[in-house]
């Protein structure tokens, strides 16, 4: 992902500005863009061309960057070694935390991370936004039925295994808006798969809406869901459009992270 702006001046004497700028340059390299020319980096970073050249020369000397035969830049093996070490210690909760924090801060809603289990969707982490009291009924450790609320239903929609085990003719109604009819639920789950996200409204807690996206593993199986929940009136119009974009982006980025993790 390109980093368009030059980093601001260090906030204290303990921060080395040149290192921040070098890190910003490295941040441009990714699987979608592994090679950059000097001119491209200069344009993307907003830095002075001489500064970019000197920083990249330093990174080459340190062994973090290589030059291609055409003179462009690409990251060297030490970057991958550091990345692999970080991935080895990464789990879904620590990976999702920054995304949850962004969502809770951006919208003032509570962000949730849920994982599938035999007995239902388990909330393993949450970050409260400024409007969190309305969803106090869901806590870390809460087990929720798969056929209600956004986080559970988005996992159910993306898992044939869960659907085979969970969907029966005796689904309980948690509220008067819970879908309990099998045909209606299957249709709803198909719509969720097609849209790529689940939107719920008062089907688990009255007056509470939520929006969730799936997090998928290497084999395409459901690993978790990331969601935001709050007052139903906060999930309408432009606010809803913004939440769909941000939650789906978080789910997609976490999916890429999970699919990069070493097998083990």
The pLDDT of residue 259 is: 83
Q: What is the CA radius of gyration of the chain?
A: 22
The pLDDT of residue 261 is: 67
Query: Is the C-alpha dihedral spanning 209, 214, 215, 217 positive or negative?
Result: positive
Query: Is the C-alpha dihedral spanning 185, 190, 191, 192 positive or negative?
Result: positive
Residue 253: phi, psi to the nearest 5? Answer: -70, -40
Note the pLDDT tens digit of each residue in 124-163: 899 988 876 555 578 888 889 999 999 999 999 999 999 9
Whether pTM > 0.85 for this model: the answer is no
Per DSSP, the chain holds a count of helices (H) and strands (E) of: 9, 9
What architecture (CATH level 2) is domain 17-88?
Answer: Orthogonal Bundle (1.10)
Q: What is the DSSP letter of 200?
A: E
CA atoms of 11 and 9, how far apart (whole Å): 6
Of 29, 22, 15, 2, nearest to 62 by C-alpha is 22
88: pLDDT strictly greater than 60: no
CA atoms of 231 and 237, how far apart (whole Å): 14
The pLDDT of residue 140 is: 85
Fold of 92-260: Beta-Lactamase (3.30.450)
CA atoms of 80 and 176, how far apart (whole Å): 52
The pLDDT of residue 14 is: 66
**Which two structure tokens, joined as six digits, stand for 101?**
């924090």
Note the pLDDT tens digit of each residue in 186-204: 999 999 999 999 999 999 9
Q: Domain-by-domain residue ranges, the chain?
A: 17-88, 92-260
The pLDDT of residue 251 is: 95
Q: Is beta strand 208-216 parallel, antiparallel or unpaired with respect to 110-117?
A: unpaired
% of residues, the chain, pLDDT over 70: 84
CA atoms of 233 and 228, how far apart (whole Å): 13
User: Distance of alpha carbon 48 from its chain centroid, rounded?
Assistant: 33
183: pLDDT strictly greater than 90: yes
**Which two structure tokens, joined as six digits, stand for 45?**
């970073």
CA atoms of 147 and 185, how far apart (whole Å): 8
Of 175, 166, 222, 174, nearest to 198 by C-alpha is 222
Averaged over 91-114, what is the pLDDT?
91
119: pLDDT strictly greater than 60: yes
Query: Is the C-alpha dihedral spanning 145, 147, 153, 156 positive or negative?
Result: positive
Residue 180: pLDDT band with limits 50, 70, 90: very high
84: pLDDT strictly greater than 80: no
Residues 84/242, Cβ–Cβ less than 8 Å: no
Beta partners for residue 121, in sequence order: 116, 144
Residue 168: pLDDT band with limits 50, 70, 90: confident
CA atoms of 129 and 102, how far apart (whole Å): 10
């Amino acid at each position: 992902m390109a980093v368009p702006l030059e980093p601001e001046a260090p906030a204290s004497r303990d921060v080395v500005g040149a290192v921040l700028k070098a890190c910003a340059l490295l941040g441009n390299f990714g699987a979608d863009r592994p090679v950059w020319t000097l001119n491209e980096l200069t344009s993307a970073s907003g830095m002075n061309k001489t500064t970019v050249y000197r920083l990249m020369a330093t990174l080459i000397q340190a062994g973090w960057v290589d030059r291609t035969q055409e003179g462009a830049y690409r990251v060297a093996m030490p970057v991958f070694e550091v990345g692999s070490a970080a991935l080895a210690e990464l789990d879904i909760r620590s990976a999702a935390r920054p995304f949850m924090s962004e969502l809770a801060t951006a919208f003032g809603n509570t962000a949730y991370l849920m994982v599938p289990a035999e007995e239902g969707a388990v909330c393993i982490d949450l970050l409260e936004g400024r409007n969190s009291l309305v969803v106090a009924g869901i806590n870390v450790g809460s087990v929720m039925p798969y056929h209600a609320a956004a986080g559970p239903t988005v996992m159910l929609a993306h898992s044939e295994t869960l659907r085979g085990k969970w969907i029966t003719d005796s689904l309980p109604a948690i509220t008067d808006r819970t879908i309990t009819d099998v045909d209606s639920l299957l249709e709803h789950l198909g719509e969720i798969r097609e849209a790529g996200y689940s939107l719920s409204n008062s089907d688990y807690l009255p007056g509470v809406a939520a929006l969730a996206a799936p997090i998928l593993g290497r084999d395409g199986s459901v690993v978790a869901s990331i969601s935001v929940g709050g007052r139903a009136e906060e999930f309408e119009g432009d606010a809803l459009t913004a939440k769909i974009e941000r939650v789906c982006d978080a789910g997609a980025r976490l999916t890429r992270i999970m699919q990069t993790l070493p097998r083990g």
